[in-house]
Chain A
Amino acid sequence: MNASASFQLCEPAASAHSPDVKVQFRDVYKTYGRIEVVHGVSFDINEGDFISLVGPSGCGKTTMMNMLAGFTEPDRGEVLLEGNRVTGPGPDRGVMFQDYGVFPWLTVEQNIRFGLDLRVKRGMSKEEKRETVEKYIALMRLGDFRDAWPKNLSGGMRQRLALARAYAANPHFLLMDEPFGALDAQTRSAMHDLLLGIMQSERKTALLITHSVEEAIYLSNRILVISARPSRVVEEIRVPFSDQRDRELLDTHEFIEMRRHLRDLVMQQYAQQQELR
């Protein structure tokens, strides 16, 4: 049970739930068939955190996110959301899936509206819905394609659509699985700043899975380096930069140092994952 104790980052499992701690992974294990995917992972996510998971492909990052999203249960250990065990998905946790999950039978605009239509039925005003839809169509620069079918969108546009849909539903938690992978460099940095803006203005808590070390540092206040399969938390890195960030940060000495350190750590794990194959 305690094999992974050296990697535990949070307080012991018995600790009381403090109001700032929103999510707790407590000694979580998961095995698919004969493949152990997650091995004794523990960490907390605090209110307002932007936390990134970086690690080799196939190590189990999506699996961990799915546990928080409520699609997968741990075999052992538990995932707590505001002190309660996660039992299923909910609109408080918006998910941007690795393969987008854009609804092919709905147009761009209808996709973005999906979550909002549901909220209108639960009391949101039509006016607010309309404004929100327009806001995200504009932010994601999808205006020319609002009536297009997803089959006619490029990969990057589909990704932006999935982001728009997730943001528009206004969840407290944003769980994003490699959300910017299909975007060109310019669009990606625009999306980064947009996301930072949303984090600031709407007080959200985010979990990001990414393969980009730079992206992780630029967006997060904490980064978890995940090991080769089975997933363990190898190291937690606290990003010391302020919440107000812009592109100039990328050229600072501290940023470059941190990037080098993180890249080394991640490379080691990627190399081990290679050996696994």
Chain B
Amino acid sequence: MQRLAEFGWRLLPFIAAITIWYLVRWSGLVDQGLLPPPHAVFVEIWRRSLDGGFLLDAWMSVRRVLLGLFFGMLLAVPVGFLIGWNRGVRRFVDPLVNFFRALPPIALIPLVIVYLGIGEVAKVAILFYAAFFAGVIVMYEGMSQINPLFVRVARTLGATDWEIFYKVIIPLTIPHVLTATRVALGVAWATLVASELVAAQNGIGAVIQNASAFFQLTTIYAGIVTIGFFALLMDSVLRAITRNFLNWQDRVAQ
């Protein structure tokens, strides 16, 4: 019963958003032709899913995001760790990281096309870039906040460097890895459509692009809602992991 109520509370904001959507449409503030009703959008998602093409597009997008995120974090964790831990490395790398981070990934698309062409690698590369720089910043901000007292305590209890690494540093790093992954995931989704501009043939970004060429607003909305759905789903998974593994923390994401 309580779980049901909990579920209801989770759903409520979405119901509210859909209601507002209907209200805006019916109020006449916006030309009805420019704002398809929610049910039409859901029917569109359903219809396109049935013929399989849309599911394939969604899968392509999800795969790109996951690959970009995976490789981005694979590099961001050790690099963020290193610059968070070593002041010399940080002084050297910090300006560079900030420069590249300020550079919007979309600005790199022309270069990526020149170097990597327009295949799958090019798209993943852009997402990798976006995920890496978002992740690395969060990682090293977090790492540099780690309280050196814990290392001292472990030393007085007889821990060697290696034991300190895996019994103290690793547990203290995991929360930052998870936060960084969440941030990077958000950025990767935000960059997805842009990355699928690179000769879009499939992917939800491509669906949106094509639909916009033909002014198919319902399809555009269907694409946007689908992206939102998958982004939220992945974020929820990460939050669930955070909750279960990091319940020792004072404040755990709900």
Contact = CB atoms under 8 A, between A and B. Distances in A.
| A and B associate in one complex | yes
Interface string B144-166: 00000110111111110001000
Contact of B158 (A91, A104, A151): A91
Contacts of A169: 156-158
A166 B158 CA distance: 11
Contact of B156 (A91, A99, A106): A91
Contact of B150 (A93, A94, A103): A103
Contacts of A115: 157-158
Contacts of B168: 103
Contacts of A103: 150, 153, 168, 171
A95 B158 contact: no
Given A104-B249, A105-B172, A149-B247, A93 B156 contact: yes
Interface residues of A, number: 29
A152 to B, nearest CB: 10
A151 B248 contact: yes
Contacts of B172: 105
A101 B153 contact: yes
Interface string A101-117: 10111100000001100
B87 interface: no
Contact of B149 (A93, A99, A149): A99
A90 B171 CA distance: 22
Nearest to A66: B152
B155 A88 contact: yes
B157 A114 contact: yes
Nearest to A88: B155
Contacts of B149: 97, 99, 101
A69 B154 contact: no
Contacts of A165: 157
Nearest to B245: A105
Nearest to A71: B152
A118 B152 contact: no
Interface string B242-254: 0000011110000
B250 A151 contact: yes
B167 interface: yes
B158 A101 contact: no
Contacts of B249: 104, 151
B150 A95 contact: no
A69 B150 CA distance: 14
A101 B247 contact: no
Contacts of B156: 69, 89-91, 93-95, 166, 169, 171
Interface of A: 69-71, 88-91, 93-95, 97, 99, 101, 103-106, 114-115, 118-119, 122, 149-151, 165-166, 169, 171
20 contacts: A88-B155, A90-B158, A91-B157, A93-B156, A94-B157, A95-B153, A95-B156, A97-B149, A99-B149, A101-B149, A101-B152, A103-B168, A106-B171, A115-B157, A119-B158, A122-B158, A151-B248, A165-B157, A169-B156, A171-B156
Interface of B: 149-150, 152-159, 163, 167-168, 171-172, 247-250
